[in-house]
Amino acid sequence: MEHSEAAVLIRGFIGKHLVVFDDDATFTDEDHIFQMGFVNSLFAMEMVGFVEREFGITVEGDDLDIANFSSVRNILRFVEQKRTVM
């Protein structure tokens, strides 16, 4: 899967869930979605499951750092790092 395709998937997943909090929620690939106040701990765990399923990686305990999941850009970077290790 190409970088741009992965970004579209991640944006779509986040966007679909942000609408629950705010119908007008918008964000960029660099926005810290936790600091925006739209993300809670339940959504964070759903996002971990999404990343594992969509990208075929395993998120280990040490990977559960908010920095890895705080923005579209950081999620992409994290996925790419995990894939190079595999």
34-77 confidence digits (pLDDT tens)? 898 877 888 889 999 999 999 999 999 999 999 999 999 999 99
CATH number of the domain that 16 lies in?
1.10.1200.10
Quick one: pLDDT at residue 18? 75
What total number of domains does the chain contain?
Answer: 1
Quick one: pLDDT at residue 26? 84
Cα–Cα dist 44/17, whole Å: 11
- pLDDT reading at 29 higher than 90: yes
Q: Is 4 exposed, middle or buried (0-12, 13-18, 19+ CB in 10 A)?
A: exposed
Quick one: pLDDT at residue 47? 95
pTM: 0.89
Q: Is 29 exposed, middle or buried (0-12, 13-18, 19+ CB in 10 A)?
A: middle
For 34, the domain range is 3-85
Quick one: pLDDT at residue 86? 66
- Mean pLDDT for 13-32 is 80
Query: What is residue 22's three-state secondary structure?
Result: coil
